[in-house]
Structures are given as C-alpha cells and as structure tokens.
Amino acid sequence: MQDYIRDARESGGQEHDLFVGLDVDKGSIALTAFDRSGVRKSVKMPYDAEGLLSFIRNHYANRRVIFAYEAGPTGFRLYDAIVNRGHDCLVVSPNSIPNAPSNRVKTNRLDSVRLGTLLMGDQLKGIRVPSEAIRKLRSLVALRYTYMEDIKAYKCRIKGEMLLWGLTFPAAPKGSQWSNKVVGRLRSLDCDVIIGLKISSMLDHLEALGKHMRLVEVALRSFIDGDSDLRMCVEYLMSIPGIGWRIACYVLSRIGDHRCLGSSKEMGSFLGLVPRENSTGEKIDRGSITRCGDPRLRSMVIQGAWAAIRRDPELRAFYERICSNHPQRIAARVAIVAVARKLAERMHCVLKEQRRYELRRAA
C-alpha cells in the first residue's frame, strides 16, 4: 500500500540524462535504459543490487541516472542500495502507472520498457519511502493486528463448534466472556470426547495466540520507547481525546515521517474520509466517502471518534450539529464520519507542529 504523501520529485527533468526502468521479482531484474537521444537497451539479470549498479557503472559511466520500479513484495532494499550510491530512484505505486485498456500483453521486459518510457517522459511520481524505523514499526503493528484477527477468528470457531453440537456457551458478564473462569468451564464441558478434544485444541491455540500477541505488544512498546522521535509522536497523538496507544501506533506506522506531512486536507483524503465528487459546470454532485487507503486505519479512527465525542465537548457539539442537519436514519453515521475527519486533521496538526493537543470547551 502506498504511503501518505508522494515523493515531491518529478520523474524526469533536465538534471538526468539516463532513465532506467526496472521490473523486479524475487529472482531477477528486467532493465531497460533510455538516454535522451532515444537509444534503448534492455537486459535481464539476477536480482542483485550490486550487480545492477556494476552494470550501470560499466556501461554508463559518468551519466546522471534515475531509476524507477514498482512497489512490491521485495520491499525497499533495492531502493536503499541505489540511493546509497548517489543515484535518484522512484518507487512507484502500481495503481498510479498509466496503462492503455487495449494493452493485452504483459512481460517483465515490456513492463520495464513502459516504466523507462514514462520516466523519460516525466510522467511518474514516486511514493515517499518510509525510513527504517517506520518500516520496523509497521512490521510490528501488522504482526500484532494479524494475531488479533486470528484470536477473533478462533473465538468464532469455538462458538460455531458449540452451536453445531447444541452446546451452550457459559454465561458470563459483558466483557468477561473469555475470562480464565469461562475458559476453564469450556475445557470441562459435558460432551462427546471427540468434540471436547477439538474444543480443547482450539482453546490451546487461542491461548498461544494471546501469549504471542502480548509478546509483540511488549516488543512494540520497547521499540517505541527506545526511539525518542517515535515516542514523542505517539504521546502527541494520545493527547487527542479518542486516540489511544494502539490507534496512535497504527496511525504513525501508516503515515510515516511527520516531517514530510503536507496540508491537513491530505490527511482526510488519505484515510478515505472525504466525499466523492462528480461535479461539472454549475452542477455539484457529492456522494459518500471515497473509502480510499487502509480500511483498518479508517475503522480505527471512526472507533476513536465515538470515544472522542464522549470526552470532548467541542466534538460532541459538532456531532450533534451534524446530526440535526440530516435525516434520522443516516444522521449518526454521517456525523461520526465527520467527527473522524476532524480527528484526522487534529492528528495532522499535532504531528506537524510537534505539540500536545489542548482540549477546548464548546462555544
């Protein structure tokens, strides 16, 4: 998934005289190089950054080179190697690369030709490549989220298995359905041996997943505490009503370096919280939100918005004002999305200005 703000550099320009399009997979690199006279050279080589740079150095010495390749599962190791050698490189989102609908032939070589052509024609924009610290943060956050989703899935499987065989889930107060007491009662259910074995096995797996998730959370807290910049950014985000530690970590992992943030409007657009629009002339046609970007992040911010209106009088007044301007059947949904967009702007503000949020009373 592409980052919050694209790299500001243009793909071409007068400062380069060699344009190299790369199509990268796990085992090979398809390379196509164009110079300003239009001469093209295509080669295929094993995936090796040093081999790629040696080829450029041997065949195009003293050239001002710029590279471009699509973001993919190989990550940013190739980007790091190229930039560390003093060359410019664009990592491009696949969705942003123009492609003719009539183009029905796709190969690695043709993809590298297309990237090289677009690069030379100044038609590519690169994503903002995250720093190593943000990459590690993103990896830990994603791992924690994976364990959390697996835990939810196993809880549903256990309940589904009990429903299948007509077993009643033990009664428990709200919020304690999976306490140690309830789990102990599940392990001692009066049921067939095979069914009991299956439920016990799933409970064992559930317990192991919970243990792994707690270990990841400890590692995540330790990693953030060990980086002063990340720690301060998380603290600034948590000063906003409705934003807790987990939401702050996820937001920071997706946004990346706060020093590269643009305007506050971009934050709402990144989260997919701005309305669709299809206007022309004097006709203005706006619809539901775009839902662009990371759906997990958008869901988290909307959940934070429900907590925020209980703690922030200003947001509560804003929520009620939006509700009063819409039909009752959609009022709450529209209003909470508007509150989430305000939260997004606040997060942008505290990160951009590197300060804590100050709670204000409603007018």
Q: Give the tens place of pLDDT for each residue, 3-33.
A: 433 343 445 556 898 999 999 999 999 999 9
Give the pLDDT score at 175. Answer: 84
**pLDDT more than 70, % of the chain:** 95
Architecture, CATH, for domain 6-127: 2-Layer Sandwich (3.30)
pLDDT tens digits for range 172-186 = 998 899 999 999 999
Residue 101: pLDDT band (50, 70, 90) is confident
For 186-212, the pLDDT digits (tens) are 999 999 999 999 999 999 999 999 999
Output the CA–CA distances (angstroms, integers) from residue 86 to 38, 78, 80, 257, 273, in the order listed: 24, 13, 10, 22, 38
pLDDT of amino acid 347: 95
Dihedral, CA atoms, 85, 89, 292, 290, nearest 10 degrees?
150
pLDDT tens digits along 108-139: 999 999 999 999 998 999 999 999 999 999 99
pLDDT tens digit sequence for 300-326 = 999 999 999 999 999 999 999 999 999
Could you tell me the two tokens for 145? 């989220």
pLDDT digits (tens, 9 = 90+) for 274-293: 888 887 777 777 888 988 88
For residue 154, CA distances in Å to 72, 194, 204, 209 come to: 30, 18, 10, 9
Domain segments of the chain: what residues? 6-127, 132-226, 241-353
Residue 233 or 106, more confident? 233
Place of tokens 């989220």: 145
Instruction: State the pLDDT confidence band at 361, using cuts at 50, 70 and 90.
Output: low
Is the distance from CB of 289 to CB of 274 less than 8 angstroms?
Answer: yes
Whether 94 has a pLDDT exceeding 60, the answer reads: yes
Cα–Cα dist 279/322, whole Å: 23
Question: What's the rounded Cα separation, in Å, for the pair 141 and 224?
Answer: 11
Side-chain half-sphere CA neighbours of 72 within 13 A: 12
Rounded Cα distance, 275 and 287, in Å = 6
Cβ atoms within 10 Å of 110's Cβ, excluding its own: 15
- The model's confidence at residue 1, banded by pLDDT at 50, 70 and 90, is very low
- Give the single-character DSSP code of 315: H
Q: Which residue has the higher pLDDT, 18 or 2?
A: 18
* Distance separating alpha carbons of residues 332 and 321, to the nearest angstrom: 11
Confidence class for position 363, pLDDT limits 50, 70, 90: low
User: Which of residues 102 and 18 earns the better pLDDT score?
Assistant: 18
Name the average pLDDT for the chain: 91
Task: Report d(CA 194, CA 306) in Å as an integer.
Answer: 44
Nearest by Cα to 195 from 168, 162, 157, 156: 162
CB 123, CB 98: distance < 8 Å: yes
Query: pLDDT-derived band of residue 362, with 50, 70 and 90 as boundaries?
Result: low
Per-residue DSSP letter, 280 = B
Q: In whole angstroms, what is the distance from residue 231 CA to residue 234 CA? A: 5
Do residues 291 and 322 make contact, with C-beta atoms less than 8 angstroms apart?
no
Q: Please name which of 61, 11, 21 lies closest in space to residue 42, comparing C-alpha atoms.
A: 21
Looking at residue 183, its pLDDT comes to: 94
What's the length of the chain? 363
Segment 62-73, tens digit of pLDDT: 899 999 999 999
